[in-house]
């Protein structure tokens, strides 16, 4: 009985501990990023899993590694991928309907040649569904062209984070013009920062 | 005749001022609540409307005013509309005996605390009516909880205040203030620390705020007794809830923290600073502690607060008797 009472009184101390924790949080700076005015660093975006994209080719970056085996098409639970085989193995058309994609990663996992990866497009905005159907081959060509213009010293590292999405860079943290679908749908990728 | 007319005018003016105070208090408190909640969770809180989001609460109240008054089917119409009004108007009366400054009292009553405690009980009646007339089981459960909780927590609250009344030998709020000094070591909180603690705990229970917000526990009861209210009906409950909070904080400031007295110059600013400090504390504990279970809530009251407040009262009585 006495022990129970004493335990209860000791329990009051935990209330003080809780108050001190929230009090400390109250005084420490906020952690959230206030989006239109601030954007997160590119480093953090490197782990963001955005809509999928084709990886840059090994020899010619504009040449996809895809061999049109249709493994990703079969693996996709949302039926968002469409790969049209050309004369050779290389695909002639590669469309990706992001509006059905659940970002599960089954396509990335299933690809035998490593031709798919997640992009880091975090500022993707469109005004209609149709704009979410991407032509990934054109996107790949564009990224390869931008990369050729400004080659980075570490070529291999560039593959992973070459296309940090949209126009958000740590050097110029100007937010992307929200609502301009064009900026998001056809991103103007910039090379990875060293 | 002239005298009674003067008092009548005085009360009308005071009532208008108090309505202004209630509305202003709700706006300030909503803003403070959301900002403090934000900072405790390390986010900025309201930010977009006005500088630092200061106009957010005003816009919200505009929205509430403009909303449709929707009445669900099968409600008891008279009681349904009576309840929010009944929640609002008694609170109005409760502010009248509070001494905001040395000469700033709407109604000089020499037993002010009795008036406050008596009419504070009406608030729970409006909760009960709202819950009963809404024809909704969540509302009814919320109302039942509100009644058992408020009735229970009123007892230690009264006993804690009674200890101070014993010590000061007066029920007049002004007199109680006058017996305390300007500096913190001359306040009643030093002579009655246990009573102050009991009072603060039971005022959380009395105003139905987290961690004792069981009558409107969102995760269990939708919104408790005001589930079925929209627009102004809801706004009136909301207003009176915050006004109740301000009222109990003001009473705490008067009884334990020296009321309008303070260093440098006495005046209404001190009582408001003290009351808002207590309200800030209430907001702080709301965002710190999880909601208690109902049996825990009643256990805290009947097994701890009530015996402790009785003990405190006895001790006070004995000491007062010995010293005088
Ligand atoms: S991430 Fe999943 S849903 Fe999206 S395209 Fe790949 S397999 Fe389909
Ligand atoms: S699984 Fe890889 S190689 Fe096969 S079609 Fe898909 S992207 Fe091309």
Residue B228, classed as helix, strand or coil, is coil
- Joined together, the tokens standing for residue B4 give 């009674």
Give, using CA atoms, the residue closest to atom 7 of ligand 1.
A76
Q: Which of A54-58, A72-76, B194-198, B282-286 has the lowest mean pLDDT?
A: A54-58
| Predicted pLDDT of residue B2 | 67
- Tens of pLDDT, residues B275-290: 899 999 988 988 888 8
Strands (E), A34-168: 52-54, 81-85, 91-97, 116-118, 133-135
DSSP state of A153: S
Q: Which of B136, B159, B297 is nearest to B227 (CA)?
A: B136
CA distances from A129 to A120, A185, B216 (A): 20, 11, 41
Task: Confirm if B242 and B25 have CB atoms less than 8 A apart.
Answer: yes
Task: Confirm if A54 and A46 have CB atoms less than 8 A apart.
Answer: no
A-B contacts (CB, under 8 Å): 36
pTM value is: 0.73
Residue of A19, A21, A30, A34 to mutate, testing the B interface (most B Cβ within 10 Å of its Cβ): A30
Q: What average pLDDT score do residues B47-64 get?
A: 82
Q: What average pLDDT score do residues A78-88 get?
A: 86
Residue given tokens 């504390």 in the structure block: B281
User: Residue A117 forms beta bridges with which residues?
Assistant: A53
* Spans of all domains in chain B: 71-323
Q: What is the ipTM of this complex?
A: 0.70
Q: What does DSSP say about strands A133-135 and A81-85: parallel, antiparallel, or unpaired?
A: unpaired
Q: Which of A137, A166, A161 is nearest to A147 (CA)?
A: A161
Task: Confirm if B90 and B122 have CB atoms less than 8 A apart.
Answer: yes
Is A30 in Cβ contact with B42 (below 8 Å)? Answer: yes
The domains found in chain A, sorted by start residue, are 42-185 (3.30.70.20)
Is B42 in Cβ contact with A28 (below 8 Å)? Answer: yes
Give, using CA atoms, the residue closest to atom 6 of ligand 1.
A107
Chain A residues whose CB is inside 8 A of the B39 CB are: 25-27, 30
- Joined together, the tokens standing for residue A189 give 């990728």
Backbone angles phi, psi at A54, to 5 degrees: -85, 140
Q: What average pLDDT score do residues A141-153 get?
A: 72
A113 CB near ligand 2 (under 6 Å): yes
Q: Rounded CA gap, B278 and A17, in Å?
A: 19
| Predicted pLDDT of residue B203 | 87
Residue given tokens 């024809």 in the structure block: B135
- Tens of pLDDT, residues B147-182: 888 888 888 988 888 888 888 888 888 888 878 877
Most informative mutation of A76, A81, A115, A133 for ligand 1 (most atoms within 8 A of CB): A76
- Joined together, the tokens standing for residue A93 give 């058309």
Most informative mutation of A53, A56, A67 for ligand 2 (most atoms within 8 A of CB): A67
- Is cis: bond before B211, omega within 30 of 0? yes
Cα of A105 from ligand 2 centre, angstroms: 13
Q: Which of A177, A172, A50, A145 is nearest to A102 (CA)?
A: A50
Is B288 in Cβ contact with A21 (below 8 Å)? Answer: yes
Q: What share of chain B is helix, strand, coil (3-state, %, to 5)?
A: 75, 0, 25
Confidence of residue A143 (pLDDT cuts 50, 70, 90): confident
Give, using CA atoms, the residue closest to atom 8 of ligand 2.
A66
Cα of A102 from ligand 1 centre, angstroms: 6
| pLDDT at A161 > cutoff 60 | no
CA distances from B286 to A42, B209, B212 (A): 37, 7, 9
Backbone angles phi, psi at A92, to 5 degrees: -100, -20
- Tens of pLDDT, residues B176-212: 887 887 777 778 777 888 888 899 888 888 888 878 8
Rounded to a whole number, what is the distance in Å from the CA of A183 to chain B's nearest CA?
Answer: 25
Secondary structure tally for chain A: helices H, strands E: 7, 5
Q: Rounded CA gap, B312 and B319, in Å?
A: 11
Rounded to a whole number, what is the distance in Å from the CA of B286 to chain A's nearest CA?
Answer: 10
Rounded to a whole number, what is the distance in Å from the CA of A34 to chain B's nearest CA?
Answer: 8
């Amino acid at each position: 009985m006495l022990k129970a009472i004493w335990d209860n009184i000791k329990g009051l101390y935990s209330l003080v501990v809780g108050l001190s924790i929230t009090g400390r949080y109250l005084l420490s700076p906020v952690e959230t990023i206030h989006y239109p005015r601030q954007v997160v660093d590119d480093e953090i975006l490197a782990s963001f899993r955005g809509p999928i994209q084709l990886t840059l080719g090994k020899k010619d970056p504009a040449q996809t590694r895809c061999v049109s085996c249709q493994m990703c098409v079969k693996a996709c639970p949302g039926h968002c991928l469409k790969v049209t085989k050309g004369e050779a193995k290389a695909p002639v058309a590669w469309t990706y309907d992001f509006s059905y994609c659940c970002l599960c990663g089954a396509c990335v996992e299933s690809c035998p040649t490593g031709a798919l990866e997640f992009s880091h497009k975090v500022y993707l905005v469109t005004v209609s569904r149709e704009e979410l159907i991407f032509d990934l081959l054109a996107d790949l060509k564009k990224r390869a062209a931008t990369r050729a213009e400004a080659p980075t010293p570490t070529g291999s590292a560039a593959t992973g984070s070459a296309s940090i999405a949209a126009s958000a860079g740590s050097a110029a943290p100007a937010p992307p013009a929200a609502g301009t679908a064009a900026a998001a749908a056809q991103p103007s990728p910039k090379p990875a920062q060293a | 005749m002239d005298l009674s007319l003067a008092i009548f005018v005085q009360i009308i003016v005071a009532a208008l001022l108090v309505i202004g105070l209630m509305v202003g208090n709700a706006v300030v408190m909503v803003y403070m609540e959301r900002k403090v909640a934000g900072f405790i969770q390390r986010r900025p809180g309201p930010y977009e409307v006005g500088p630092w989001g200061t106009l957010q609460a005003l816009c919200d109240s505009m929205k509430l005013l403009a909303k449709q008054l929707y009445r669900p089917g099968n409600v008891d119409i008279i009681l349904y509309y009576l309840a929010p009004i009944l929640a609002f108007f008694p609170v109005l009366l409760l502010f009248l005996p509070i001494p905001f400054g040395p000469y700033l009292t709407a109604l000089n009553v020499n037993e002010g605390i009795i008036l406050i405690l008596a009419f504070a009980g009406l608030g729970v009646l409006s909760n009960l009516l709202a819950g009963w007339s809404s024809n909704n089981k969540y509302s009814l459960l919320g109302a039942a909880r509100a009644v058992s909780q408020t009735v229970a927590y009123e007892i230690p609250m009264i006993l804690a205040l009674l200890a101070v009344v014993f010590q000061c030998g007066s029920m007049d709020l002004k007199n109680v203030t006058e017996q305390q000094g300007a500096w913190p070591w001359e306040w009643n909180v030093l002579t009655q620390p246990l009573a102050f603690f009991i009072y603060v705990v039971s005022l959380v229970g009395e105003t139905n705020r987290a961690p004792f917000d069981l009558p409107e526990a969102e995760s269990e009861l939708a919104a408790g007794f005001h589930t079925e209210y929209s627009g102004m009906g809801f706004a009136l409950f909301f207003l009176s809830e915050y006004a109740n909070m301000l009222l109990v904080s003001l009473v705490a400031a008067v009884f334990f923290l020296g009321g309008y007295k303070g260093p440098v110059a006495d005046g209404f600013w001190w009582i408001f600073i003290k009351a808002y400090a207590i309200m800030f504390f209430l907001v702080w504990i709301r965002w710190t502690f999880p909601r208690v279970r109902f049996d825990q809530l009643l256990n805290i009251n009947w097994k701890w607060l009530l015996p402790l407040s009785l003990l405190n009262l006895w001790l006070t009585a004995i000491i007062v008797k010995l010293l005088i």
